[in-house]
Amino acid sequence: MWKSIDDLLHLLETELQFLDRGGYRDSDMWRPQFIFLDSPSCANPAGAGRPDACKNCLLMPFVPVAMRHASVPCYQMPLTADGLTADSLQRWGTQQELEDALRSWLTRNIEHLKRALVVRNEGKLSKTGWQATSIEGTDFSAGRQDHCNEVTTEG
C-alpha cells in the first residue's frame, strides 16, 4: 500500500488534475476511458494483465475490505454518501455523473489529507502518519468509516 500521507495526497491531486484536463474524455480512443484504470496514476492500467499490482495500489485503503479481491478493487470504492461506486456509476450513470462523483470524492479526500498534514506538522502524527485506523473525524469513504478500517494514525 502507501507509505505516507504525502504519497496519497500526490496521487489524488494527480488524479484530479487528469480528470479536470478531460483525461477520461479522449475522443481519439477506440473505447470509453475507464475511471482509474486509464489514469496515469494506475499501477495496473487497463489491459496490463497484472492483477497482483492492485494489491500495492495507493487507493487500496479506500476499498472496502470485502471487495479488495475484486478484479478492479478501485471500482468498488464508495464515491458518494449513498455508496455509489465507479462500477455502479459506469453501469447505470452517465459519464458526467461518474466524473462529478469522482471529482467530489477526490476533492473531499484531498482536503482530509491536507488537514491530516497539518495535524502531522503540529506533531500529533509520525512522519509517515499512518498505520491501521483513521484520523478521528476524518471520513475517507464517503461517509462510512466502516469501509476504511485499515487507515489509521499513530498516536
pLDDT, one tens digit per residue, over 80-119 is 999 999 999 999 999 999 999 999 999 999 999 999 888 8
CA-closest candidate to residue 35, choices 79, 86, 106: 86
Residue spans per domain, the chain: 5-148
pLDDT at site 55: 75
As a whole number of angstroms, the distance between CA 100 and CA 79 comes to 10
Say if pTM beats, i.e. exceeds, 0.95: no
Among 37-41, 45-49, 77-81, the minimum mean pLDDT is found in 45-49
